[in-house]
Structure 1
């Protein structure tokens, strides 16, 4: 496995962790209870949501960090932190960096949520949706081989990203559709 492969796998892992985290967050916002509903077990969804967030941030930070160790093409720290002027896929890399910065804002605001007003925390937490959009754009359209900028959209990793995109769009639409009633009213009426 090359460093470029490791970078790709870390990126795929980051997208997977962020997708799971986003889905768990949606369930929590709808007042999902794993005791009342499937799987009828006591599961601490909040802790699972928190740990998938930590995993997502670690993988998201590790993904571009691996690029610093590549001999060719060479990436400097500026290319990672501020990729606007990077010589290789600057727009897509800037999209990925913007997604990372939004994810960090969401994480930091969650870590200090007891010190800030709930409305501020909630509004900052909504940044997870634009960060997911930016992350998926970066992930799907970036050339994982760092060659000609034309990714193979039927590659296994890209298909995983495309399926993840469809699942997140469907889950977001479903969440918006039932946002008023959530799971509490629905399970009480059955």
Structure 2
């Protein structure tokens, strides 16, 4: 393994996590539209959403774990718990910590969903709408590839996917429910 392997894998898993979080948010919006998606029945979209969310969580865990052990990143355990105190670009790194903390809250409440009730779970689950843009801005501000054309193109695709899903959801909500969206 080369000296930069942890750094390279850490960056790569961060990009994969961002793409998977985008797919998760996209599918989450699609399942809440009240109308089945044209490509899959609603229950299948929900199952794929759940599985993609789990895989995104794994990749985010790998991203953080790899960078925690990478000597170049100099990420401390303290930095992944408390936002905005990191040594390297503390604001941008702090956004990553906030996104991680939000994801932990989503995972924890999903694991105990049957105990906390649907209403509480749904209220916490709204944090996903803060998690995704926070993770995206973290990647744009802290990522070493953030200025690369391929990454900027990927970021634009991620934003277009989420905005497209939001547009589709708003357009498909029956008129009697539009006041509640």
Q: Taking structure 2 as the reference length, what is the TM-score of the superposition?
A: 0.83
In 1: Cα distance, 2:8 partner to 2:174 partner:
44
Q: Taking structure 1 as reference, are residues 105 and 179 closer, same or farther at Cα in structure 2, changes over 3 Å only?
A: farther
Indicate if the aligned counterparts of 1:92 and 1:141 stay in contact, CA closer than 8 A: yes
Q: Is the 8 A contact 1:4 1:144 kept in 2?
A: no
Counterpart of 1:168 in structure 2 is 162
2:5 is the counterpart of 1:11: no
Q: CA RMSD in A?
A: 2.4
| Alignment-derived partner of residue 142 in structure 2 | 142
- Give the aligned partner of residue 178 of structure 2: none
Pairing of 1:54-133 with structure 2 (within 5 A): 54-133=54-133
Structure number with the higher helix fraction is 2
Cα deviations by residue, 1:164-185 (Å, 9 ceiling, x for unpaired): 123212322332343336xxxx
Distance 2:24 2:42 in 1: 18
Residue by residue over 1:37-60, the C-alpha shift from the partner in whole angstroms, topping out at 9 and shown as x without a partner, is: 336x79722221111111111111
- Which of the two has higher C-alpha Rg? 1
- Distance apart, 1:158 and its partner CA: 3.1
Count of aligned residue pairs for this structure pair: 173
Q: Indicate if the aligned counterparts of 1:139 and 1:161 stay in contact, CA closer than 8 A.
A: no
- Distance change in 2, residues 1:178/1:75 (3 Å): same
Q: Are the equivalent residues in 1 in contact too, given 2:26–2:161 (CA < 8 A)?
A: no
- Counterpart of 2:39? 38
- Shift in alpha-carbon separation, 1:119–1:26, aligned structure 2, 3 A: same
Is 1:155 the counterpart of 2:158? The answer is: no
Gapped runs of 5+ residues in structure 2? 176-181
Provide closer, same or farther for how the CA distance between residues 83 and 21 of structure 1 changes in structure 2, counting only shifts above 3 A.
same
Which residue does the alignment assign to 1:188? none
Instruction: Provide the C-alpha distance between the structure 2 equivalents of 1:129 and 1:47, rounded to a whole number of angstroms.
Output: 19
SS at match of 1:84: coil
Q: Any stretches of 5+ residues in structure 1 without a counterpart? A: 146-150, 182-190
Map 1:172-183 onto structure 2 (within 5 A).
172-180=166-174
